[in-house]
Structure 1
Amino acid sequence: MKLLYHFSEESNIKLFKPRVKHNRQDMPPVVWAIDQEHEHTFYFPRNCPRIVYRRNEGISAEDNLKFFGITNADTVITVENHWYETIMNTTTYRYSMPAESFKLFDKTAGYYISEHEITPTEIKPINNLLKRQVDLGIDVRFTTNLSPLREALRHSTVSDFGIHRFENGM
């Protein structure tokens, strides 16, 4: 059975009700979840802008060098410098979600949606967010501004990337 989660900085959500997401106004109200393989992309404060990209088949040698440089990590997450302290001081809560009513929304990102109210089966606090990334072998990078990376990825052969909460960036 697929493990699905929802992440929040709120520690006491008893029932998830479908809602319209701020950046998905064209969709009906849904409850969002993420699969276990991609959960690390939410080991950040909710509003923290970040870019996550993974090494993929078909990436050119030039783009491999440009985006992965001398790292052997297959996943790189980049955030803006001024979020460092907030990341270090944030506890996020991982809600385990029963998978039965969810359907796959985005395979690349690991997103699932449900149009039903969902009662979580477990709540677990997640601390030491950067250490968790490091322990997973993820290359975490900091920059002054995400815009140049966003534009470079959009015009590259890297096809496996996600841009989270970009509107909160510099």
Structure 2
Amino acid sequence: MRPAAGQVLHFSEDPSITTFAPHVAATAQQPEAYVWGLDAVQAPAYWFPRDCPRVLAWPGPETSAEDSRRLGDERVHAIEYAWLPALQSVRLWAYRFDAGAFEPFGTPYPHAMVATTTVTPLGPAEPVGDLLALHEAAGIQLRLVANLWAFMDEVAGSSLRFSGIRLRNAAARK
């Protein structure tokens, strides 16, 4: 599930939210209050249960041919085996918003869209559906690993673009 042109998405396990007000998340690394959204490129990073730790990697223009071959020239999302039942059973919902209220967030490459005013969804929350099927249909390889840290260290030491999300919930580093 991705937003249509001119829209951003917000994923949630709560289908009953009617308005989204800017707030500072408990885990925020910045003091500003935002409503967080995702464009079509970043949406797949949130096709997971909220608290699921994950490492995402993909080739960018600066990626070496050798590093790109490590991924099979595709985007890879990795989670721990322990999180597979949650991935298969979570009921995830998507809220659609007009992108006009949002601006890109993150440097050097934006990783989210943010609004600084209260926003109302364009309609009711939509069920996201089967998260494994979404990954497959998008051509994103989903890797199951015993521990995320080896993969995180591998991609962080490469020329690949990558992101680690909710890593505080990952198994301890071995």
- Asked if TM exceeds 0.5, the reply is yes
Counterparts in 2 of 1:25 and 1:106: CA distance versus 1, 3 Å: closer
- The gaps in structure 1 that reach 5 residues or longer are none
Contact 1:4 1:99 in 2 (8 A): yes
Report how far residue 60 of structure 1 moved.
2.5
Contact 2:104 2:110 in 1 (8 A): no
Q: What is the CA–CA distance in structure 1 between the aligned matches of 2:62 and 2:30, rounded to whole Å?
A: 32
2:163 corresponds to: 162
Counterparts in 2 of 1:109 and 1:75: CA distance versus 1, 3 Å: farther
Contact 2:21 2:118 in 1 (8 A): yes
Report how far residue 23 of structure 1 moved.
2.6
Contact 1:30 1:114 in 2 (8 A): yes
Q: Deviations over 1:106-152 (max 9, x none)?
A: 37454111111111112211111111110111111000111111122
1:130 is the counterpart of 2:129: no
Q: What is the CA–CA distance in structure 2 between the aligned matches of 1:49 and 1:161, rounded to whole Å?
A: 14
Size of the alignment, in residue pairs? Answer: 165
Q: What is the CA–CA distance in structure 2 between the aligned matches of 1:120 and 1:2, rounded to whole Å?
A: 13
Contact 2:156 2:162 in 1 (8 A): no
Report how far residue 43 of structure 1 moved.
1.1
Q: Alignment RMSD, CA only? A: 1.6
1:105 corresponds to: 105
Identical aligned residues as a percent: 26
Q: What is the CA–CA distance in structure 1 between the aligned matches of 2:85 and 2:18, rounded to whole Å?
A: 29
1:39 is the counterpart of 2:43: yes
Answer with 32-41 or 21-30: which moved more.
21-30
Q: What is the CA–CA distance in structure 1 between the aligned matches of 2:110 and 2:137, rounded to whole Å?
A: 20
Q: What is the CA–CA distance in structure 2 between the aligned matches of 1:93 and 1:141, rounded to whole Å?
A: 23
TM-score by length of structure 2 reads 0.87
1:2 is the counterpart of 2:13: no
SS of 2:11 mapped into structure 1? strand
Answer with 53-62 or 110-119: which moved more.
53-62
Counterparts in 2 of 1:25 and 1:76: CA distance versus 1, 3 Å: closer
Contact 1:109 1:162 in 2 (8 A): no
Report how far residue 95 of structure 1 moved.
0.2
2:61 corresponds to: 57
1:96 corresponds to: 96
1:11 corresponds to: 15
- The gaps in structure 2 that reach 5 residues or longer are none
